[in-house]
Amino acid sequence: MPTPQSLCLINNHFVPADSGNTFPVTDPATDKAIASVPDCGSAETWRAIEAAAAALPEWRTRPAPARARVLRTMGDLMLRDQDRLAAIMTAEQGKPLAEARGEIAYAASFLFFSAGEAERVYGQTVPASASDKRILVLKQPVGVAAAITPWNFPSAMITRKLGPALAAGCTIVIKPAEATPLSAFAIGEIAIEAGVPAGVVNIITGDPATIGREIFRHDAVRKVSFTGSTEVGKILMDQAANRIVKLSLELGGHAPFIVFDDADLDKAVAGLMANKFRNAGQTCICSNRVFVHERVFAEFAQRLRAQVAALKVGPGTHDGVQIGPLIDDAAVEKVASHVANAKSKGAKVTVGGDLVKVPDHANRFFAPTLIEDANPEMKCFSEETFGPVVPMMKFSTEREAIDLANDTPFGLAAYFYTSNASRLIRIAEALDYGVVGANDAAPSTAQAPFGGTKESGLGREGGHWGVEEYLETKYVSWGV
């Protein structure tokens, strides 16, 4: 991998922390440092926000087609550099190279879609109740936006925020996860090459609490978009209250995956495999609880067992690997503790269940695991595991499946398989989730509204809904 950019981006300059302090970025597969990045604090955050505020007047008034062109160029450059960006991602995040390449294309799709949306930010006129009045509804950029992004999708979760923000005419300050800043800086380089003016995109790394505090303190920041844990989301909501900052929160999930007795089992197994084991199970929308109708349970479990056992585990850079390392030791501990807890409650672990030793690598590789008799008393059925573990349970009636699926404070994504059209719409309506996959386990796409209900968050990303989050609605009452 060529040496990646490892400095923060403020006002189109790559800069170190004022103190010169850095923190290491490690490869999760080896636990070895691959770079050090600036450990910034209040002063640098403040400067990044000031740069974004200074760039705002020109960017927000630049004609939409010109803003769209910049976004399209960024997308083109990401695809041009797909292999290089994927290599950076795999080095700092661990996911298999093929998945990393896929994520770069997914990340670029948010830029392309946002470019189109930039040109479709329509206002409205509304018939007034007096003949000497007109009602105009204007859509205007909210102001400086801040994006706080996670390590599990180091590029796509940035462009999913940056794209709509710039399309709306906002400028942005991005704080990537401490584990994966290099993918963010690479996007910064691409932004400059694409012609993004100074101050429109700024990227800053350092202590999350300090950077977060400054983001919510500075008057110019009018919008914060966060993807991460529900725990942190609640803290941000508290901080946002002080200045009533507009918030989008994409938080934890606990996705149910329901297989009815009339489902196409081949499709259901393929859907679960792709959905559950993407990114080694470290996604907010991957299935965390699998409910299978008692009539097809044995057949489904048998097919699944063979496929789970066949998954290839190893470093993301090795050919054919499907399951890379977990991000850090804490992640390994959590996954292991969920499996241990299930075993202590009598669970039958039919595949995996433990770490896989990879010579000369860190102890971060967890075997794809199947638990065939899970129940709601087990941690894996009440908390997000964020790892390659499939806990399954039988159900008998439709009502029981719906109740089990909705019995959680989370509401991000849910999936079910059935070949009955009436049941399909009934279940889709009954599931209390923001994203529902009906005979589909890969719902993520740039055009659709992505986001959760209940403690899984606020707001939607993607489609015109994603751009709407960065716009204010202004009503002009015009006396004529």
Sort strands 144-148 and 221-227 into parallel, antiparallel or unpaired. parallel
Q: Which is nearer to ligand SIN, 77 or 286 (CB)?
A: 286
Q: How far apart are CA 51 and CA 198, in angstroms?
A: 8
Q: Which is nearer to ligand SIN, 365 or 386 (CB)?
A: 386
Residue 153 binds to ligand SIN (criterion: CB under 6 A): yes
Q: Minimum Å distance from CB 291 to ligand SIN?
A: 21
Provide the mask over 316-345, with x wherever binding to ligand SIN is found by CB under 6 A and - wherever it is not: ------------------------------
Q: Minimum Å distance from CB 418 to ligand SIN?
A: 23
CB 388 within 8 Å of CB 272: no
Q: Minimum Å distance from CB 284 to ligand SIN?
A: 4
Residue 114 binds to ligand SIN (criterion: CB under 6 A): no
Q: Which is nearer to ligand SIN, 59 or 153 (CB)?
A: 153
DSSP H stretches of helix in 225-380: 230-243, 265-277, 297-309, 329-344
Q: Which is nearer to ligand SIN, 9 or 326 (CB)?
A: 326
Q: Which is nearer to ligand SIN, 154 or 353 (CB)?
A: 154
**Binding ligand SIN by CB under 6 A: which of 227, 230, 288, 418?**
227
Q: Which is nearer to ligand SIN, 22 or 152 (CB)?
A: 152
Q: Which is nearer to ligand SIN, 22 or 227 (CB)?
A: 227
Q: How far apart are CA 16 and CA 185, in angstroms?
A: 12
Q: Which residues are catalytic?
A: 250, 284
Q: Is 12 left (phi over 0), alpha (psi -120 to 50) or beta?
A: left
Edge-to-edge strand ranges of the sheet holding 133-141 = 124-126, 133-141, 471-479
Residue 283 binds to ligand SIN (criterion: CB under 6 A): yes
Q: Minimum Å distance from CB 412 to ligand SIN?
A: 8
Q: Binding to ligand SIN (CB under 6 A): which residues in 426-445? A: 444
Straight-line distance from the first to the last Cα atom of the chain, in angstroms, rounded to the nearest whole number:
64
Q: Minimum Å distance from CB 107 to ligand SIN?
A: 10
Q: How far apart are CA 136 and CA 451, in angstroms?
A: 30
Q: Minimum Å distance from CB 437 to ligand SIN?
A: 11
Both tokens of residue 290? 């699998």
**Binding ligand SIN by CB under 6 A: which of 111, 284, 367, 380?**
284
Closest listed residue to residue 225, CA positions, set 211, 237, 238 = 237
**Binding ligand SIN by CB under 6 A: which of 11, 90, 152, 322?**
152
Report CA-CA distances (Å) from 297 to 265, 290, 371: 10, 11, 13
Q: Binding to ligand SIN (CB under 6 A): which residues in 57-86? A: none
Residue 285 binds to ligand SIN (criterion: CB under 6 A): yes
Closest listed residue to residue 4, CA positions, set 181, 191, 202, 148 = 181
Q: Minimum Å distance from CB 242 to ligand SIN?
A: 27
In sequence order, what are the beta bridge partners of 413?
A: 435
**How far is it between the farthest Cα atoms of the chain?**
80
Overall residue count recorded for the chain in this entry: 480
Question: What is the total count of residues that contact ligand SIN (CB under 6 A)?
Answer: 8
Which residue's C-beta sits nearest to ligand SIN? 444
Q: Which is nearer to ligand SIN, 153 or 260 (CB)?
A: 153
Q: Which stretch binds ligand SIN (CB under 6 A): 45-53, 82-90, 200-208, 283-291?
A: 283-291
Closest listed residue to residue 260, CA positions, set 442, 400, 371 = 400
Q: How far apart are CA 94 and CA 159, in angstroms?
A: 20
Q: Minimum Å distance from CB 377 to ligand SIN?
A: 26
Q: Binding to ligand SIN (CB under 6 A): which residues in 207-226? A: none
Q: Which is nearer to ligand SIN, 152 or 183 (CB)?
A: 152
Residue 6 binds to ligand SIN (criterion: CB under 6 A): no
Q: How far apart are CA 182 and CA 10, in angstroms?
A: 15
Residue 151 binds to ligand SIN (criterion: CB under 6 A): no
Closest listed residue to residue 216, CA positions, set 247, 181, 183 = 247
Provide the mask over 242-281, with x wherever binding to ligand SIN is found by CB under 6 A and - wherever it is not: --------x-------------------------------
Q: How far apart are CA 48 and CA 11, in angstroms?
A: 7
Q: Minimum Å distance from CB 283 to ligand SIN?
A: 4
- What does the DSSP assignment read for 296-334? THHHHHHHHHHHHHT--BS-TTSTT--B---SSHHHHHH
Q: Which residues bind ligand SIN (CB under 6 A)?
A: 152-153, 227, 250, 283-285, 444
